[in-house]
Amino acid sequence: MKRLQWTTPPAAGEHYAIEDEGSEASPGGAASHPLHELRPGTQAVVQGIDGGYGILDRLSALGLVPGTCLQILRNPRRGPILIQIHNTRVAVGRGQAHKVRTAPLGEPLTEEGRWQ
């Protein structure tokens, strides 16, 4: 079972962050990417969330917590990002997506549903 770890209280103008204990080493040695940078079809693991209590509460209520696997369904240049978490489709705004750090699990799926 994964334990979540809160960072130290922030100085003025900074935010709290929540991270997985092992978030330094991402799966397969992949680098951490904000959620908004991932292409449609990409599967990823949430590594952490940077932000205040409001965004932590909202995203955790949607199921976006460190260690969660997700898939990007739609990521247009503008507007919300559509993701799938635990067989549920969730729309996340771009501002919120900037604060979610992820580690991609592989190359995006092709239209036929196969790995590239």
Domain of 90 in residue numbering reads as 4-104
**Could you read off the pLDDT of 91-103 as tens digits, one per residue?**
999 999 999 999 9
For residue 100, give both structure tokens. Answer: 């979610």
CATH of the domain at 17: 2.30.30.90
Q: Is there a domain that residue 116 lies in? A: no
Domain count, the chain: 1
8 Å CB contact between 49 and 99: yes
Q: Which helix (H) or strand (E) holds 61?
A: helix 53-62
Distance of alpha carbon 102 from alpha carbon 110, whole angstroms: 20
pTM above 0.85, yes or no: no
Distance of alpha carbon 57 from alpha carbon 65, whole angstroms: 10
Q: Is there a domain that residue 56 lies in? A: yes
**Could you read off the pLDDT of 7-53 as tens digits, one per residue?**
444 554 555 555 555 544 444 455 788 999 999 999 999 999 998 88
